[in-house]
Structure 1
Amino acid sequence: MMKKLVLIALLYLGTGIQANAQDNYVHTAKGNLVKILTANTGAKIKLNDVITFNVVQKTEKDSVLFSSYTMGHPLKIQVQACENAGDLMDVLPLLAEKDSALVKVPTDSIFKDHEDQRPPFLPKGCNLLFTVKIEKIQSLQEAMAERNAGLAKIKAEEIPARDKYIADNKLVVKTTPSGLKYFITQPSVKHKPLTGDTLLVNYTGKTIDGKVFDSSVQADAQKAGLNQPGRNYEPLQVIVGTSAVIKGWDEGLLLLNEGSKAEFIIPSNLGYGAEGAGADIPSYSTLVFDVELVKIKPIKHAPAKPVTKTPVKHKTTAAKKKS
């Protein structure tokens, strides 16, 4: 006859966390239920630590709502004070590096005071289920040092990668003093825009490894497999020279004639820099844009002031004649 397991109720002082002897879940101060699936020795997570973790979020009917494994990389966050049950911050102090846990989060806590935002598949009284695996724990200083070292490596690789793209594609480019590289693919003899003019621009943007991340041209978007629901495929309106777009665009568009097409090779300092722009544009990314200046809608510009040349006085070299 098997002996019955005796579950000991534990009290976690200072955290408001109590064990539930009935189902081996731990209750947190915010009402979450936590079951440790894999426990390891080592320091527990502390406030301000930076953690790298994988997580799967499900409904009680086992429908997956989110998975970092599907994304292809873990998440990284800094641990803050807990504000609501859904942020899991009251769960993290229970875990050490390589620990895993199942967390039940009451949806009534998540949608308290804003029931209008509750989706139909999360009815009152149900829980959201999170399976969390802690991959790495770092102090804020350690995480910043790692990030800075990684960014420095990426930054150092940008110029060689850009030069390789130009060489591999046998491009003959012009380079402006700022570092913008471009070449005209369809010339035009029409007029050029001035700062403040509204331009209609068709474009397709990609990284130098060929990944298309945006396009105003439907054929290009479909060819690249872009998912842009609700997108109206039409030229983008840009007020040029007013910082409404990235610096590389502001500079490059002023170099084009109406009706011309060009390729811009925009270094990161004229694009999105160290921050990047979401998953599609990493830090220190050189961007490539195929652009067409479809139309210029000029504003009324002040007439250019005539240039007057100042006469140059020449010194005489004639010696003063002696009397």
Structure 2
Amino acid sequence: MNFRLIVFAAFLLGTVSCIDQDQTQEVILVQNKEAIEKYLLEKPITSVKEYKEEEEGFYMFWQVARDSTALSVVRGDTVRVNYTGRLLSDQVFDTSIEQVAKDNGIFNSTRKYEPLKFRPGFNFAIVGFEFAISLMREGEKATVIFPSRLGYGTSSSGPVPANAPLIFELDLIKVTKVPQN
């Protein structure tokens, strides 16, 4: 009896270890893309300009766009951006704006609410967020939606569950150009 149990447990462990991680990621991507497309059908986003990478499930909608004379972002520049992060359920999970935090029950009195300052191209945690910023110009506002593999992936982070597509409302306030050699 115990021998059968051991053989069954070994079979289960062998089956689990044979799961193709790439195939699993592909299944998650397909599920994320379907959820994003459903969201966009149910809640279309008004925009003046759009960018889509449908194969990747990346969608960006500008509410305010600037002409080509506005400063663009390149690797090494320093940017300041206000943001609000949401799940497809529209639950706000993070923001740089104090009033948005208060309105959505996530206010933290020990946190300093101010535009996020970072240098694109230097290990920012959320790839989809950074990519969206790279497409923007100073003074632009946009909403970006992307699958979990461009967000937190298979890890959870606070109120963000594993494999969750993300939505960010972005306001690129300032671009400080990297000094040229």
For 1:239 and 1:193, locate their aligned partners in 2 and report how far apart those are by CA, in whole Å: 10
1:222 aligns with 2:75: no
For 2:101 and 2:52, locate their aligned partners in 1 and report how far apart those are by CA, in whole Å: 28
Deviations 1:85-143 (A, max 9, x none): xxxxxxxxxxxxxxxxxxxxxxxxxxxxxxxxxxxxxxxxxxxxxxxxxxxxx99939x
Q: Percent identity?
A: 29
Contact conserved, 1:243 with 1:250, CA < 8 A, in 2?
no
Question: Which amino acid counterpart does residue 51 of structure 2 have in structure 1?
Answer: K
Where 1:281 maps in the other structure, the secondary structure is coil
**Corresponding position of 2:178:** 299
For 2:148 and 2:133, locate their aligned partners in 1 and report how far apart those are by CA, in whole Å: 17
Instruction: Report the Cα offset of residue 179 of structure 1.
Output: 4.1
**Corresponding position of 1:290:** 169
**Corresponding position of 1:184:** 62
1:204-283 equivalence runs, <5 A? 204-278=84-158, 280-283=159-162
Following superposition, which runs of at least 4 residues in structure 1 exceed 6 angstroms of deviation?
none
1:195 aligns with 2:75: yes
For 1:229 and 1:263, locate their aligned partners in 2 and report how far apart those are by CA, in whole Å: 27
For 1:175 and 1:277, locate their aligned partners in 2 and report how far apart those are by CA, in whole Å: 26
Normalising by structure 2, what TM-score? 0.77
Instruction: Report the Cα offset of residue 245 of structure 1.
Output: 3.2
Relative contact order higher in (CA < 8 Å, ≥ 6 apart): 2
For 1:193 and 1:174, locate their aligned partners in 2 and report how far apart those are by CA, in whole Å: 16
Instruction: Report the Cα offset of residue 298 of structure 1.
Output: 1.1
> Structure 2: any 5+ residue segments left out of the alignment?
1-8
Normalising by structure 1, what TM-score? 0.45
Structure (1/2) with the larger helix percentage: 2
1:163 aligns with 2:163: no
Instruction: Report the Cα offset of residue 178 of structure 1.
Output: 4.9
- Relative to structure 1, the CA distance from residue 166 to residue 301 in structure 2 (aligned partners, 3 Å threshold; closer, same or farther) is farther
1:141 aligns with 2:13: yes
- Relative to structure 1, the CA distance from residue 274 to residue 298 in structure 2 (aligned partners, 3 Å threshold; closer, same or farther) is same
Between the two proteins, the alignment pairs up a number of residues equal to 163
For 1:244 and 1:174, locate their aligned partners in 2 and report how far apart those are by CA, in whole Å: 21
